[in-house]
């Protein structure tokens, strides 16, 4: 089986490539390195002791993508490539619509031409906006609050319309909750440029003394300790969910969306506590105003993924906190 992974050098893509190779799939990565580094390829190969094929291309480039599909016999595509920074998407909406939508349309056109009609797509829990109740089920109403989220919802709509027009397609839409953690080797992980927006990358930089203190965005939410509550999932569990989704699209035609989370919610203060205790370190913090646009709580109903994909997250919050920090410590050690 040949699996084409768009955005395979990125955070979730690289972990998924490792799991695919571990399961003996052939992996072909297309990535333009707009948010990743080429050295990730070597790291994936070191971890797995297997080879990957790598094309440094923009998937908006129809001609080059068409050549790749002519050269390789692709069975299934996992489509990670896209921009993902919520705040930037508010400031530069056209950049997000152009890259996320254009790349997907180009990819789907080329797949159609080459009669490759099996795709797993990276969506996000952001498509639920402010959920009507918890836990969140896939059938809940969808709406978005920023251009990034809107690109995800638009792509879900495009995929639905495509399937309605041609029932030969097999499409799995994966709605990720909050991926954190890293591979236990410490070789691959999450590396946002500049000051991180998301909680775990920020905590890691504070613990690593690159940033002074964490700002906790509000402690007056309707949650157990007043701080925001989210469904954090270890990226390796998430990657394994993709293997199950690949099996699903190989087996069954159709289109379906699945929540990938743990089904459990943790508050910001619980994350800090777990991080400090498992890593034997301190994360200085101060409580500040709520972040505009944030919701109080968000966690998944995971029964559909459990039943239909035969998948469930196994790793715990302590594993997530330990592996997130291990990646950064390992990088620092390697620079010495």
Residue ranges binding ligand UD1 (CB under 6 A): 86, 124-126, 149, 178, 197-199, 202, 214-217, 228, 230, 268, 291, 293-294
Q: Which does 11 bind (CB under 5 to 8 A by kind): ligand NAD, ligand UD1, none?
A: ligand NAD
Q: Which does 202 bind (CB under 5 to 8 A by kind): ligand NAD, ligand UD1, none?
A: ligand UD1
- Distance, in Å, from the CA atom of 85 to the CA atom of 126, rounded to the nearest integer, reads 12
Distance in Å, CB of 119 to ligand NAD, minimum = 13
Q: Which member of 128, 148, 232, 258 is catalytic? A: 148
- Distance, in Å, from the CA atom of 178 to the CA atom of 100, rounded to the nearest integer, reads 20
Residues paired with residue 230 on neighbouring β-strands, in sequence order: 266, 298
Distance in Å, CB of 144 to ligand UD1, minimum = 9
- Distance, in Å, from the CA atom of 121 to the CA atom of 311, rounded to the nearest integer, reads 17
Q: Which does 245 bind (CB under 5 to 8 A by kind): ligand NAD, ligand UD1, none?
A: none
Altogether, the residues listed in the chain come to a count of 336
Q: Which is nearer to ligand UD1, 76 or 125 (CB)?
A: 125
Q: Which is nearer to ligand UD1, 48 or 198 (CB)?
A: 198
Distance in Å, CB of 72 to ligand UD1, minimum = 31
Distance in Å, CB of 149 to ligand UD1, minimum = 6
Angle at 111 (CA atoms; ends 80, 28), nearest 5 degrees: 50
Site residues (vs ligand NAD, CB under 6 A): 6-7, 9-13, 30-36, 58-60, 80-82, 84, 99, 103, 122, 124, 176, 179
Residues paired with residue 297 on neighbouring β-strands, in sequence order: 229
User: Which residues are within 8 A (CB) of 18 and not within 5 positions of it... i.e. 6 or more apart?
Assistant: 44, 47, 48, 183, 188, 239
Q: Which does 32 bind (CB under 5 to 8 A by kind): ligand NAD, ligand UD1, none?
A: ligand NAD
55 contacts 36 by C-beta, under 8 angstroms: no
Closest-approach residue to ligand UD1 (CB): 228
Distance in Å, CB of 102 to ligand NAD, minimum = 8
- Distance, in Å, from the CA atom of 128 to the CA atom of 124, rounded to the nearest integer, reads 8
Closest-approach residue to ligand NAD (CB): 10
DSSP 106-170: HHHHHHHHTT--EEEEEEEGGGG-S-SSSSBPTTS----SSHHHHHHHHHHHHHHHHHHH-TT-E
Q: Which is nearer to ligand UD1, 116 or 204 (CB)?
A: 204
Annotation marks residue 148 as catalytic: yes
Catalytic residues: 148
């Amino acid at each position: 089986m040949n699996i084409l992974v768009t955005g395979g050098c990125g955070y979730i893509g690289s972990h998924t490539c490792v799991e695919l190779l571990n399961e003996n799939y052939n992996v072909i990565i297309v990535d333009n390195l707009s948010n990743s580094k080429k050295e990730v390829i070597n790291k994936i190969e070191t971890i797995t002791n297997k080879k990957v094929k790598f094309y440094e291309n923009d998937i908006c480039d129809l001609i080059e993508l068409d050549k790749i599909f002519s050269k390789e016999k692709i069975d299934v595509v996992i489509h990670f490539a896209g921009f993902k920074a919520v705040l930037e998407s508010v400031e530069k909406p056209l950049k997000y619509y152009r890259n996320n939508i254009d790349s997907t349309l180009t990819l789907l056109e080329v797949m159609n031409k080459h009669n490759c009609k099996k795709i797993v797509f990276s969506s996000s829990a952001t498509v639920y906006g402010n959920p009507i109740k918890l836990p969140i089920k896939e059938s809940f109403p969808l709406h978005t609050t920023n251009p990034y989220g809107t690109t995800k919802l638009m792509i879900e709509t495009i995929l639905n319309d495509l399937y309605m027009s041609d029932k030969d397609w097999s499409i799995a839409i994966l709605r990720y909750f909050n991926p954190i953690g890293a591979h236990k080797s410490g070789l691959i992980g999450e590396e946002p440029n500049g000051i991180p927006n998301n909680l775990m990358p920020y905590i890691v930089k504070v613990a690593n003394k690159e940033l002074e203190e964490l700002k906790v965005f509000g402690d007056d939410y309707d949650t157990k300790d007043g701080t925001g509550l989210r469904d954090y999932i270890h990226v390796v569990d998430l990657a394994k969910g993709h293997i199950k989704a690949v099996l699903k699209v190989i087996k069954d035609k159709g289109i379906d969306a699945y929540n990938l989370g743990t089904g459990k919610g943790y508050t910001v203060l619980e994350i800090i506590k777990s991080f400090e205790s498992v890593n034997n370190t301190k994360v200085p913090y101060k409580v500040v105003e709520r972040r505009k646009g944030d919701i109080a709580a968000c966690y998944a109903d995971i029964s559909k993924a459990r039943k239909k994909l035969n998948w469930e997250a196994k790793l715990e919050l302590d594993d997530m906190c330990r592996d997130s920090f291990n990646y950064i410590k390992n990088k620092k050690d390697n620079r010495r």
